[in-house]
Amino acid sequence: MKSSKIWYVRNVAGKVFGPIPFETLKEWVKDGRIEPLASISQNLSTWMLASLNPELEMDWIIENNPGQFYGPTHRAVVDDFLKTGSLAPEARFYQSSACVEAKMKPIKDDNAALAADKKALEGKVADLAAGMQKCQDEVAAIRDRLAKTESKLIDETARAEEALAAKDHEIAELKEQLRRQSEVHVPEWRTEEPLVPEVVVSDEPPPQVARNAFGGANQATLAAIERQAQAELARMGASGAKKFFTFGKKK
């Protein structure tokens, strides 16, 4: 209620003092010149208790003796009473709740603003926590998919390695079969010009060759016998030679 206008003070006896500026009014309050029930006005028509103006700080009440009160007044007046020894030793002091409430209002407003800011921050924190949880869930899902993909790749790799090993084994067996087949001796039958022995007609019996079969004289005829055998085989042909060599063998 501070104003640049002039002010008037009316005491309980109805006497009016002024006009004075507001700063002078505040000094009068501190000097104890303004009674607790004094009124103030700016137009001499509308009056209010001076103690109701929070800027005058008339928010102290003194209980000098039980049931004996003075106030509300300024703290400077209380200090003056104490300095002059005007109060009883058991005097008590109270601060007006209305004034305290007026002083506490800015603090309460600040607290309310802080509470609102706190609530807003808590909302932001909750949103961030929800976003973080969502991100964590997405990361967990990605890790799960990666684990499944890795397991699938491991299984497919194992199966591919098994198939490759089987192919390697099959190739090794084929190589071994090829090696064995290459080692089988297949005789070649060659057709040569048959030897036509010279026909010699003799009246004498043939010589005894069996006795000399293993003698030195018989060695000279081995080549001739071999030639005759080859000629006979050539005459028989491949099918006849096969039957000849398999004759007497068990099937």
Which strands make up the sheet holding 39-41, listed edge to edge? 16-20, 7-10, 39-41, 48-49
Residue 77's closest CA among 147, 27, 140, 25? 27
Residues 150-168 pLDDT 10s: 999 898 989 999 999 998 9
Dihedral (Cα; 220, 224, 230, 235), 10-degree rounding:
-160
Please report, as a single letter, which amino acid is at residue 208.
Q
Q: Could you tell me the residue ranges of all domains in the chain?
A: 7-95, 108-181
Please report, as a single letter, which amino acid is at residue 226.
E
CATH classification code of 7-95: 3.30.1490
How far is the C-alpha of 186 from the C-alpha of 146, rounded, in Å?
Answer: 61
Give the model's pLDDT for residue 195. 57
Give the model's pLDDT for residue 228. 81
Give the best-scoring range by mean pLDDT among 4-18, 205-219, 230-244: 4-18
Angle at 61 (CA atoms; ends 58, 65), nearest 5 degrees: 155
Residues 29-40 pLDDT 10s: 999 999 999 999
Confidence tier at 88 by pLDDT (50, 70, 90): confident
How far is the C-alpha of 1 from the C-alpha of 55, rounded, in Å?
Answer: 7
How far is the C-alpha of 41 from the C-alpha of 137, rounded, in Å?
Answer: 70
The model scores a pTM over 0.85: no
Which of the two residues, 224 and 55, has the higher pLDDT score? 55
* Dihedral of alpha carbons 243, 244, 247, 251, sign: negative
141 pLDDT more than 80: yes
97 pLDDT more than 70: no
